Homo-oligomer: A and B are copies of this chain.
Amino acid sequence: MSKASSSSPSRIELVATDRRLTDSNMKPATRGTKEHAPANSQASQLDHGPLGERLGYILRRAQLAIFEDFIAACDRFDIRPGQYSVLTVIEQNPGFSQTKVAEALGIKKTNFVAMVDAFENRGLVRRAAMPGDRRSYALFLTDAGKALMRKLHRVAEQHEQRIIDRIGPLMHKRMFSALAAIAGMSGDTKQDD
């Protein structure tokens, strides 16, 4: 076997979703290691074993699902989650420099350039002269940008409500502190160069 060898090693990040298979020709050799999870006839396909006990695993899956929902919701505005976060920070902090805004979101300033370019080309963000420092730009939302944000915030709230409907307002509220605590695991910080 192994006609393989391929080209690049290529790592895949995890990704996961449930799927059922109505197959018949299953369990070719269910011997070897096997002691975890219960049955898996036609429910959720293969046995994920201890993965179901790894918070990081389901956290990742949940994050993907949430993004998928948000992406779909913002699709008609051609806005992605990361873009929404950038516009929101600019909206909340008008006049700050690219570096500051990028840092606030953990985005490398080098990758932030193209983002701002796109926003500027779409007439959503304005790069103004930073008074007192000719090196930096002061970022502002244009009127069009502000108008878009009003719509986006509404969409985001509906999106949030969809989540609340799933887990209940209490759990929704509780999650924040827990997730915030987890987010602080890596001692935070980890920005630009």
Give the B-binding residues of A (Cβ under 8 A): 1-2, 4-19, 21, 25, 27-34, 36-37, 45-51, 53-70, 80-83, 85-86, 88-89, 91-97, 100-101, 103-107, 111-118, 120-121, 127-133, 137-138, 140-141, 146, 149, 153, 156, 159-160, 162-163, 166-167, 171-172, 174-176, 178-186, 188-191
The 9 closest A-B pairs by CB, nearest first: A29-B95, A49-B92, A17-B106, A46-B104, A32-B94, A62-B182, A4-B117, A61-B183, A28-B95
Question: Nearest residue in B to A133 (C-beta to C-beta)?
Answer: B25
Q: Whole-angstrom distance between the alpha carbons of A172 and B175 in the complex?
A: 10
Complexed CA–CA distance, A153 and B100 (Å):
40
- Decide if A103 touches B21 in the complex (CB within 8 Å): yes
Query: When the two chains form their complex, are residues B106 and A15 in contact, meaning their CB atoms are under 8 A apart?
Result: yes
A/B interface sample: 22 pairs, CB < 8 A: A1-B137, A12-B83, A12-B86, A15-B82, A15-B105, A16-B104, A17-B190, A19-B191, A21-B100, A25-B132, A34-B94, A36-B92, A37-B92, A45-B100, A46-B89, A47-B92, A56-B81, A62-B183, A66-B182, A66-B185, A167-B178, A174-B174
